[in-house]
Amino acid sequence: MNNLQHNTARGTAFGILLALSLSHMLNDTLQSLISAIYPLLKDSLSLSFAQIGLITLVYQISASVFQPFVGVYLDKKPNPWFLPIGMGFTLIGLMVLAFADSLHLVFISVFLVGIGSSILHPEASRLTSLASGGKRGLAQSLFQVGGNLGGSLGPLLAALVIAPYGQQHIALFSILAVLAMIIMIPICRWYKRVLQIAGKRRRESEVKVESPFSRNQIIISLLILLVLIFSKYVYMASLTNFYTFYLMHKFGVSIQASQFYLFTFLFAAAVGTLLGGPIGDRIGRKYVIWVSILGVAPFTLLMPHANLFWTCALSICIGLILSSAFSAILVYAQELLPMKLGLISGLFFGLAFGIAGVASAVLGNIADTKGLDYVYQLCAYMPLLGLVTYFLPNMKKSNPIQK
């Protein structure tokens, strides 16, 4: 893998990056269908909220816990055809879900869909880094914005296609899975050529790419980054899951109006995701992390006390700033361990998914007992954890891959 990274850092493969971003968009569109059809499943299968929670748990286990293991395996044994294999799991899961007439079949279906996600995220993120040509922040931002767009499209498509016509119409989305597999073919062929070239050059000369930091520095830095991921995704869970309910509860807005406000937040988050990576390439990722996490604290602390207009305005600022953090954090972690791209990608994507899922459940219980206002007052302090960014070393001039 050391020769592989060295050789792929010579030019940015924008065509491959676009294909990876489109694959991410289609994958996250299909993944987001699961939560979008919960009301339909609850009615058709007479499920309780506890059973809905179990469905989420099964999905989160397969979609997040397996990601680091997939990353470790692919670091050791690269396989150019793993992306379409992962999408194959998603395709099968969707077909099972379309015709599931029992809770057990739903469990099986969401587990398969989650496996597809656990394969795509670490592997596609690793290939994004290899195709970046040194512009790793820009590459990860392009990859991430595809996922953000897909995550917002899933509920919309579910409302238009599944809700009016029934559960079996989930099968129509298998077309998107097949389309994703077609888009992945040129990615696989490109990666196969990269592996062949890297294997040939490895036999000729060994080029080592090592981290510029000691083992203790790497461990401490990774722990700090995990704290920052925790801070970001706990707060993001409070907005993505409860923002519409908060607006309806506090300001009496309609469901339709609350969805519009949620869309403005999600759009701002997509823009922030796109900007965060290239800015980190230019000024250093540590500075982007500083601004993204700690810099959003004034807005989060003000929002529980604002009127409707300023709540919307502050949410836009929060989405724009906070969403730029993940690409910077992920690339920073990859530069700490340049030989373990798959492991790092799987670990951080898996933690992001897992933290978001657990935080949603915990915050939901808090909202039931103490109210939504208390949730936002509590979560407002999460960005203050960004203070630990101070202890991160500056990677701007230490990255051996960017040069």
Residue by residue, pLDDT tens for the chain (403 residues) are: 444 444 444 567 889 999 999 999 999 889 878 876 777 787 788 877 667 767 877 887 888 778 888 888 877 888 888 899 999 999 999 999 999 888 899 999 999 999 998 898 888 888 888 888 878 878 888 888 888 788 777 767 777 788 788 788 888 999 999 999 999 999 999 988 888 876 655 544 444 555 567 888 888 998 999 899 899 888 887 887 778 778 888 998 886 677 678 778 878 888 888 887 788 878 888 888 888 898 899 999 999 999 999 999 999 999 889 888 878 888 888 888 877 777 787 788 777 777 877 777 788 778 888 888 998 999 999 999 999 998 888 765 444 444 3
SS3 category, 70: helix
Among residues 319, 309, 325, which one has the least CA distance to residue 389?
325
pLDDT, position 384: 93
pLDDT, position 387: 92
Asked if 288 contacts 140 with a C-beta cutoff of 8 angstroms, the reply is no
Please tell me the distance from the alpha carbon of residue 389 to that of residue 100, in angstroms, as a whole number.
46
Q: Cα–Cα distances in Å, from 370 out to 134, 246, 362, 375, 402?
A: 48, 13, 12, 8, 49
Please tell me the distance from the alpha carbon of residue 226 to that of residue 220, in angstroms, as a whole number.
10
Please tell me the distance from the alpha carbon of residue 212 to that of residue 201, in angstroms, as a whole number.
23
Please tell me the distance from the alpha carbon of residue 281 to that of residue 275, in angstroms, as a whole number.
10
Token look-up 């990666």 returns 191
Instruction: Retrieve residue 166's tokens.
Output: 């029934």
Please tell me the distance from the alpha carbon of residue 278 to that of residue 324, in angstroms, as a whole number.
10
DSSP single-letter state for residue 394:
P
Token look-up 């722990």 returns 223
pLDDT, position 211: 59
Token look-up 């692919």 returns 74
Concatenating the DSSP letter of every residue in 260-303 gives HHHHHHHHHHHHHHHHHHHHHHHH-HHHHHHHHHGGGHHHHHHG
